[in-house]
Amino acid sequence: MAKLNFLTSSSSLLQLFLLLTISLAAAQGTPTPPQQKLSHLRFFWHDVVGGPNATAVPVTRPPNATATAFGTMVVIDDAMTEGPEITSKLVGRAQGFYLLASQTEAALLMSMNLAFTDGKRNGSTLAVLGRNPVFDKVREMAVVGGTGVFRLARGYAQLKTYSLDATSRNAVVEYNVYVTYY
C-alpha cells in the first residue's frame, strides 16, 4: 500500500514538472530547428593511373598477385570535373584511397574526401566510404559526413563508369551524389 502511494505521488510530481517545463518552453518560444537541405551533385571523376600526369598511385602490391589484385592499395588525388572531359571545369578533387578488397572479384573499398573548390562550396568536403564492385553497371557508396556548407551531411553516391581505357586502365566515372545537410 505504501509503495502504491509513493508511485502515485511521484507520478503526479512528474506531471507537475512536465507541465511546468512545457509552459516555460512555451513562454520562452522554442527555437526553430535549422532547415535541412537536399542537393544532387553531378560530376565526373578521373582516375589517371599512369603516365606523367598520374593522379592514382599504387602504394602496396601483394607479394603474389591474384587475378583480383587483392591487397593492392592506390592513393588518389583525382580531378572532379563538371563534364566528362578532363579539360572541362574543375569542381574539386577526390582525395583518399581505394583498396582491392575482394579475393573473388574486382571490388574496391573506397575511402575519400570530395574536396570542392568551386563557387560557394569551395573549401567544403564530403566524406565518402563504400564498396565499389567496379564492373557493376551502377555502384552505390555512402556519404558519411561533411564539412563547411556540407556540415552534418548524410547521403549516397551512385557511380557509373563513363569510360575505361583498356590499355592505360584510366577511368572516367560519373558520380551522382544525393546529400542532406544543414
Ligand X SMILES: *[C@@H]1O[C@H](CO)[C@@H](O)[C@H](O)[C@H]1NC(C)=O
Contact set with ligand X (CB under 6 A): 51-53, 63-64, 117-118, 122-123
User: Of 29 and 119, which has the nearer Cβ to ligand X?
Assistant: 119
User: Of 10 and 117, which has the nearer Cβ to ligand X?
Assistant: 117
Least spacing, CB of residue 51 vs ligand X, in Å: 5
Residues 6+ apart with CB under 8 A from 66: 103
User: Of 33 and 52, which has the nearer Cβ to ligand X?
Assistant: 52
User: Of 35 and 64, which has the nearer Cβ to ligand X?
Assistant: 64
Least spacing, CB of residue 52 vs ligand X, in Å: 5
Least spacing, CB of residue 107 vs ligand X, in Å: 20
Query: What distance in Å separates the CA atoms of residue 56 and residue 170, rounded to the nearest whole number?
Result: 9
Which helix (H) or strand (E) segment holds residue 125: the answer is strand 125-133
Distance of CA 48 to the CA centre of its chain: 21
Contact 81, 92 (CB under 8 A): no
Least spacing, CB of residue 71 vs ligand X, in Å: 10
Residues 6+ apart with CB under 8 A from 139: 130, 131, 132, 133, 158, 159, 160
